Amino acid sequence: MKNIIKEVAKAHGISEQEVRNEMRVAIRAAMKNTDPTAQAFWKQIAPDGKEPPVERVIASISLMVQENKLCS
């Protein structure tokens, strides 16, 4: 996961910490989405309802994409 974050940081000319911070902001906003599909998605990643680590979100989405379980 660190490589992904590092690549994004390099591509955008920002620090890895800035990438993590921006991802945390996006995760918080996404978790507040009241759409039932969004809520089901987040329940899979964070069943306890707590904000998951950035790495878990990346790993979960990667796995869903690999298994064709992520719907557009």
Model confidence over 7-52: pLDDT tens digits?
A: 999 999 999 999 999 999 999 999 999 999 999 999 999 999 999 9
In a domain, 6, yes or no: yes
Number of domains in the chain: 1
Domain membership of residue 71 (yes or no) is no
**Domain span at 38:** 2-66
* C-alpha count within 13 angstroms, C-beta hemisphere, residue 6: 3
Q: Return the minimum-mean-pLDDT range out of 11-15, 53-57, 65-69.
A: 65-69
CA-based torsion, 66, 45, 8, 29: positive or negative: positive
Q: Where are the alpha helices (DSSP H) in the chain?
A: 2-12, 16-31, 36-45, 54-66
What's the confidence (pLDDT) of residue 44? Answer: 93
pLDDT at 69 over 80: no
Residue 51 · residue 28 · CB < 8 Å: yes
C-alpha to C-alpha distance for 7 and 43, rounded to whole angstroms: 28
Domain assignment of residue 54, yes or no: yes
pLDDT of the residue at 21: 98
Q: What global pTM score does this model have?
A: 0.83
